Structure formats: structure tokens, C-alpha cells
Amino acid sequence: MNIQLGVNIDHIATLRQARGESYPDTFEAARILLALGADYIVIHVRRDRRHMQDTDLQRLCSSFAKQVHLEMSPTEEMIDLALKYKPYSVCIVPEYPNELTTSGGLRLGDMDTKELKQKIARLKKEGIKVSLFINPKANDVRVAYKLGADIVELCTKDYSKAKTQKQAQSFLNEISLCSLLARELNLEVHSGHGLNYNNVRDIALIDAMQCLNIGFSIIARSVFVGLPQALLEMRNLLYRE
Ligand code: PXP
């Protein structure tokens, strides 16, 4: 089975916001990517709206209802936004002020899991699939299952930042084991964060892996070769016999 690809287009909006212009257009980026083989469009509407705006979510959901994957923190404001525009799926991520990008998986041990479980149920009741962005720890996979998540997205930040081959292999093993456990629990398995053209192949070859969410490396490459070529090069790395 070929692995699915969600392309995070936050940085198209970052560029637009840098000049307060109406371009580059996130809708146009989504149209090109979906036409050329991306399976999902991923956007993170952050509380500070530093890149994606509510109108991006609204426009994307109104045209690509089955292919929009929204990353958001589990605040009431964001739950209301998701319930209003109804993306296909939502990934609940931690969000801290002043971080450059998402800093890792949810710290489930520090969260009010009863409240989180209720929020997950509210989203699911409206037909929105719910993913939890977690660190690749067996216990976190079990907690995600107990909370009623449909999907776990295993964070590849540590893997992508590994300094040695040995370290990378050890993070890869953890991700691989957690993927198997998640599948045994009937959870869908995604991964992402820091994946690029040099490190994605080993993650894509994990048997139980079903979808990768990749943003920065694809958008950065597109500056030199264009979005279609940047997407094609990534898709080619995800190919499985
Ligand atoms: N998955 C999640 C949950 C994320 O928060 C991010 C970053 O927005 C990504 C995937 C994509 O990460 P990157 O831009 O490093 O490919």
C-alpha cells in the first residue's frame, strides 16, 4: 500500500502575511497540490494567527471538504472553529507562545484528559476524525486510544534532529514499535515534523505507517523548483513496492 501524503501549506500563508498581501494564495497552492497527488492539505490555525487565518480554513473547507486536515490546540476557540467549518480531520497539537513551530507531541501526563476526552467526543459527533499529535511512547499511544482518538500522529522531531545514525535508528525503532501498537489498537498511524528529502525514506518504509504530514521542506524546495516538482520529488521518496 502506498503511503498517503498530507502537505502542510502554513508557510504559503507565512509569506503572504509577511507583506500583508492577498498572495501567494493558499487556495491556489491546495488546488495544485491536490491535483498533482497530495492526499491531504494540512493547515495549522494558531491562536496568534501568525500565518493561517480563519478565512483560509473557511475557503479550503468549502472546496476540499474531504481533504482538509486542521492542526489546532485544544482550546474552546479552536474547537468552535473546527465545528463551524468542519474539516475532514483535526490534529490536536500543543501550542506555546513564542515557539517557532510545534515543539513536540502533547504532554498527555500534564493535561486534563477528562476534558480532552470530551472535546474529542464533540468533534467526532460532528463527523470530524480526530488525531492526537503524540511523542512515540507506547504509553501515549494507549492513552490516545483510551481518549477515543481515531488517529495518532507520531512526532518525528527527535528523529529528524538526531545527531548520529545510531540515534536516528533508535528513534526510528521507537516510531516503528508505536506504529505497530497503534495499528493493533485499530488507530490510524500518521507521522510528521521535520521530515525532509534526506530523512523521510526510512519513516515511509515503516510497514504500519499510513500517512506522513510534511510542510516546511516541501515549501522551501518549491522556492527553487516550483510546487509541482517539489511535490513530485517527495512523492517519489514515499513509494513502496
Ligand atoms: N505535523 C504536525 C502535528 C505539525 O505541527 C507540523 C508542523 O506544523 C508538521 C506535521 C509539519 O512539520 P514540518 O513543517 O516540519 O514538515
Residues 67-94 pLDDT 10s: 999 999 999 999 999 999 999 999 999 9
**Pick the catalytic residue: 11, 44, 51, 69?**
44
Q: How confident is the model at residue 101 (pLDDT cuts 50, 70, 90)?
A: confident
Angle (deg, nearest 10), helices 165-184 and 138-146: 30
What span, in angstroms and rounded, lies between the C-alpha atoms of 113 and 128? 19
Instruction: Determine contact, residues 182/208, Cβ cutoff 8 Å.
Output: yes
Q: What's the gap in Å between 19 CA and the centre of ligand 1?
A: 23
Give the distance, in angstroms, between the CA of residue 129 and the centroid of all CA atoms in the same chain. 13
Of all atoms in ligand 1, which is nearest to the CA of residue 216?
A: 14
pTM, 2 dp: 0.97
User: Is 193 assigned a catalytic role?
Assistant: yes
In this prediction, residue 104 carries a pLDDT of: 93
Residues 129-171 pLDDT 10s: 999 999 999 999 999 999 999 999 999 999 999 999 999 999 9
Which of 42, 211, 238 has most ligand 1 atoms within 8 Å of its beta carbon, as the pocket-test mutant? 42
Q: How confident is the model at residue 103 (pLDDT cuts 50, 70, 90)?
A: confident
How many domains, the chain? 1
Of all protein residues, whose CA lies closest to atom 12 belonging to ligand 1? 193
Find the Cα–Cα–Cα–Cα dihedral 87, 49, 41, 194, rounded to 10°.
-130
Provide the CATH number for the domain around residue 8.
Answer: 3.20.20.70
Q: Which domain holds residue 177?
A: 4-237
In this prediction, residue 240 carries a pLDDT of: 87
192 lines ligand 1 (CB under 6 A): yes
Q: What's the gap in Å between 117 CA and the centre of ligand 1?
A: 23
Q: Does residue 212 sit in helix, strand or coil?
A: strand
User: Is 11 assigned a catalytic role?
Assistant: no
User: Is cis: bond before 24, omega within 30 of 0?
Assistant: yes
Give the distance, in angstroms, between the CA of residue 103 and the centroid of all CA atoms in the same chain. 13
In this prediction, residue 99 carries a pLDDT of: 85
Residues 49-73 pLDDT 10s: 999 999 999 999 999 999 999 999 9
Residues 3-41 pLDDT 10s: 999 999 999 999 999 999 999 999 999 999 999 999 999
User: Is 51 assigned a catalytic role?
Assistant: no
In this prediction, residue 152 carries a pLDDT of: 98
Rg (Cα) of the chain, in Å, rounded?
A: 17
For residue 224, pLDDT over 90 is answered with yes
Q: What's the gap in Å between 213 CA and the centre of ligand 1?
A: 6
Q: How confident is the model at residue 191 (pLDDT cuts 50, 70, 90)?
A: very high
Pairing label, strands 211-214, 89-92: unpaired
